A and B are shown apart, each in its own frame.
Chain A
Amino acid sequence: MTDITPINRKLRIATCSLAGCFGCHMSFLDIDERIQALAEIAKFDRSPLTDHGDLGQCDIGLVEGGLCNEDNVQTLSLFRRQCRVLVAVGACAVTGGVPAMRNHYSLTECLQESFINGVGVDDPQIPNDPELPRLLDKVRPLQEWIKVDISMPGCPPPAEAFVELITAVREGRTPDFTYSMRHFD
């Protein structure tokens, strides 16, 4: 990570979950009472934690999950434009993760198995409502679409890693994830 200067005002942080399970957001909330100290130095912009719809200019964008559909791609592109430091949060954002296990099969095979031939399927039909985002052929990590500034692996990354990340960005340094914070699972 380069070109980071210390920030002396309140940080603006946006978060989103793409092809993820919200486990990384849950781990972020595991900072427990430290959320009070965080509220002193940071303010949430668009995030499932605040339910804000619009994304303003942010210092940090925390993106959980990989890319599995067109909506994910649009959201990620918006986060990249609006966030000074874009962070790939968790195994799915960094590598594609468990959702990328569908990459072994074609999209048609996946849809057939889920909605036509799968065990317990009632009224078999592949959903085609125009409001549903179109699926990508493969689930991909964020780095395949945009430049990622910091990767935070883990399923999920521990709460301490979030604290270190935000502290480091505020102080204008590269995060130092210790051994207990560095996990691919």
Chain B
Amino acid sequence: MTSERAFTLDDTEVEFEPGDSLLTAALASDRYIPHLCAHPDFSPHGSCRVCLVEVDGHNRPACTTAAQPGMTIRSDIEPINVMRRQLLQLLFVEGNHFCPSCEQSGQCQLQATVYTVGMTDLHYPPLGPRRELDASHPDLLLDRDRCIGCELCVKASSEVDQKHIFSLGGRGTHTQLIVNSEHNQLGETDMTPDDRAAHICPVGVILFKTGNYAQPTGQRLYDQQPISAIGNHRAEDVDLPPTP
């Protein structure tokens, strides 16, 4: 018998608590829905659209759609996965993602999601934007080439760290991560390596200047198991600043 607080996700019943989104309820029931900009500690805003699901025949982001009794959700179906692959391809071509040389490779949520959803090529022409690299901070590096505009660092810096260091500036494909300082330089801020914002990036924009490439290929977070099995946020625990 169907529970009063349950919906159907790919033919399986998922129970939810009042106030849950589809994504929150699914993850709490160990049912993975691919996502990038959603984080359990912050309010969702549905910007990356990777958590797209079919809700009673309509496409909706799972992170901003409230769970309702009796909903029929389809997630792991080819039409939805095709759209997810297209969204990931667009994220790839709008930035500069050089996976073979990236410090975050192997524990990058974008890369791991690409593997899980089955994207193998770019499909679209790379836009190759020119974005400023910021090495002004003594401990941290900003490589904007990899930014997917998820705003998790913006939220972490303002809501947890109370420092309001980051924001997104510009429009459309010209959107860039900007720093709240006189010259848009991270070194001018009071950001420290133990700030939440220093650990929240799902890709490789906010990096520590030392301790990278410490994990050999094959032993990195997503080398053995897909993100659907171990989740999105394990890397935040791994991504600790190196011991002096």
State whether A184 touches B226 (Cβ < 8 A): no
What is the interface of chain B mostly: helix, strand, loop, or mixed?
loop
Minimum Cβ distance to chain B for residue A140 (Å): 8
State whether A95 touches B115 (Cβ < 8 A): no
State whether A151 touches B100 (Cβ < 8 A): no
A40-48, A98-106, A122-130: which one contacts chain B? Answer: A98-106
Q: Which chain B residues border A100 with CB–CB below 8 Å?
A: 98, 126, 128
**Chain B 80-115 interface mask (CB, 8 Å, partner A; 1/0):** 000000000000100011111110011000010011
Chain B contributes a number of interface residues (CB within 8 A of A) equal to 24
Take A184-B105, A185-B105 as given contacts and tell me if A141 and B126 are in contact as well, using a CB distance cutoff of 8 Å.
yes
Q: Which chain B residues border A182 with CB–CB below 8 Å?
A: 115, 118, 120
B182 is an interface residue with CB less than 8 A from chain A: no
State whether B128 touches A103 (Cβ < 8 A): yes
How far, in whole Å, are A182 and B222 apart by their CA atoms in the complex? 11
Interface residues of A in 115-174 (CB under 8 A from B): 138, 140-141, 143-144, 148, 151-153, 155
How far, in whole Å, are A153 and B115 apart by their CA atoms in the complex? 10
How far, in whole Å, are A97 and B121 apart by their CA atoms in the complex? 12
State whether B128 touches A138 (Cβ < 8 A): yes
State whether B126 touches A96 (Cβ < 8 A): yes
**Chain B residue at smallest Cβ distance from A103:** B128
Minimum Cβ distance to chain B for residue A107 (Å): 14
In-complex Cβ contact of B111 among A103, A177, A184 (8 A): A184
How far, in whole Å, are A130 and B92 apart by their CA atoms in the complex? 37
State whether A185 touches B121 (Cβ < 8 A): no
B234 is an interface residue with CB less than 8 A from chain A: no
State whether B128 touches A143 (Cβ < 8 A): no
Take A103-B128, A179-B226, A185-B100 as given contacts and tell me if A152 and B120 are in contact as well, using a CB distance cutoff of 8 Å.
yes
What is the interface of chain A mostly: helix, strand, loop, or mixed?
mixed
**Chain A residue at smallest Cβ distance from B226:** A179
Minimum Cβ distance to chain B for residue A86 (Å): 12
**Chain B 133-153 interface mask (CB, 8 Å, partner A; 1/0):** 000000000000000000000
Take A91-B100, A103-B128, A104-B130 as given contacts and tell me if A183 and B115 are in contact as well, using a CB distance cutoff of 8 Å.
yes
Minimum Cβ distance to chain B for residue A109 (Å): 12
Take A104-B130, A138-B128 as given contacts and tell me if A184 and B122 are in contact as well, using a CB distance cutoff of 8 Å.
no
Given A91-B100, A94-B120, A97-B98, 19 further pairs, Cβ under 8 A: A96-B126, A97-B100, A100-B98, A101-B96, A101-B101, A104-B96, A104-B130, A138-B128, A141-B121, A177-B120, A179-B226, A182-B115, A182-B118, A182-B120, A184-B97, A184-B105, A185-B105, A185-B106, A185-B217
